Structures are given as C-alpha cells and as structure tokens.
Amino acid sequence: MLKKLSLIALLFCLYSCKKNSMFIQPVDAALNKKFLTGEGLDLRLFSTKDVFQYYKIDGDTDVAEKDLNAKLNTYIRKKYISGNAKLPETLTIFFYRENSFSNYGDGIYRAARDNESGRIDDEDDNLIAMCYITHITGNQLQQYTVIYDNEKILSETTDTIPAQ
C-alpha cells in the first residue's frame, strides 16, 4: 500500500512539474524547413516570399498572456531573427495548443498550400498565437503578434525590431 501511495505521489509530482513549464516544438520540422527554403516544394503552389511556419505548444495554460508573448518573442527572435536565416518578405508563424485529438501534421501542408491565411482548417480553437513578421524601411522588421484564447483575441502587439 505504501509503495502505491509513493508511486501516486511521484507521478503527481512529475505531472505538476511538467505542466509548469512551456514547451515549443515544430509540428513538422522538416516541412517547416521546406516552407522556409522552398527546397523540395512545387514553387507553382508554394510562395517563397510569403512563408508559413507551424509550432505546437505544451504547457501554456498556466502562463499569463504577457509572459506568453515574451516567451514567444524570445523564441522567434532566437530562431529566426538573430541567426543567419534569410527571412522571406513576410513570415507568419502559428502556435497551436498541443492536443492529443488533433493531428496538425496532416493539415499544415494543405494549409500552407491552399489557405491564403495559412491557418489549419478546423483548428482555430487550438490556435494560441500568430506572429506576422515583415520587412519595413531600411534594416527594420515589423513584428505583429496576436495571442488567442478559443478564437478570442486576448492581446495584440506590434514591435519594430532591427534585422540582424
């Protein structure tokens, strides 16, 4: 009986620790890379100027929208802006909630190819955030970020950042 209680307490502790941290990972890293570079895609169907990227987030439920915005901005700037990556004219990055019942991987190819907005069909209620980055005058980028909660806009921010 003591072993069972100890095991339950350990599992509860591990579950609690996992939920207090936020994880961002690509829905499909190989496909995100293809979208960004255009390699291996039919360029008659996919734009290399207006590019979409897809990520899923686990553990976002206990994160305040201000903190979520800061974490997403840090992730985006580290991944796309501060590196040597050549940004397309516009880059739209979608962050979807990790969901056991949704298979985002099946929808991102079709969404990037067929939807002008790039959103995955029937997954708007799982969309946590969208970030739109575009080039403006000189060496400047404009980043527009929207945080959602069940299709309702919680916050919108626009930042001007230097291109690296």
- pLDDT for residue 15 is more than 60: no
- Residue 106, domain member (yes or no): yes
pLDDT digits (tens, 9 = 90+) for 145-157: 999 988 889 999 9
- The answer to whether position 136 is within a domain reads yes
Residue at 1 is within a domain: no
**Which two tokens mark 36?**
């960004």
Buried b (16+ CB within 10 A) or exposed e, 4-24: eeeeeeeeeeeeeeeeeebeb
Indicate the pTM of the whole model. 0.82
> Is position 12 within any domain?
no
Positive or negative: CA dihedral 87, 136, 78, 114:
negative
- How many separate domains does the chain show? 1
pLDDT at position 4 is: 67
pLDDT of residue 24 exceeding 90 = yes
Residue 42 lies in a domain: yes
Question: Token pair for residue 80?
Answer: 């796309």
Give me the pLDDT at residue 158, please: 93
* pLDDT tens figures, 122-133: 888 899 999 999
The predicted-structure confidence for 48-84, as pLDDT tens digits, reads as follows 899 999 999 987 677 788 889 999 999 999 998 876 5
* pLDDT: which is higher, 61 or 29: 29
The answer to whether residue 80 is domain-embedded is yes
Q: Which domain holds residue 127?
A: 21-162
What is the mean predicted confidence (pLDDT) over 85-113?
Answer: 85
Which whole number is the average pLDDT over 9-17? Answer: 58
Which amino acid does the sequence have at 33? K
Does residue 141 lie in a domain region?
yes
Average pLDDT score, the chain? 84
37 located within any domain? yes
Share of the chain above pLDDT 90, in %: 37
pLDDT given at position 106? 75
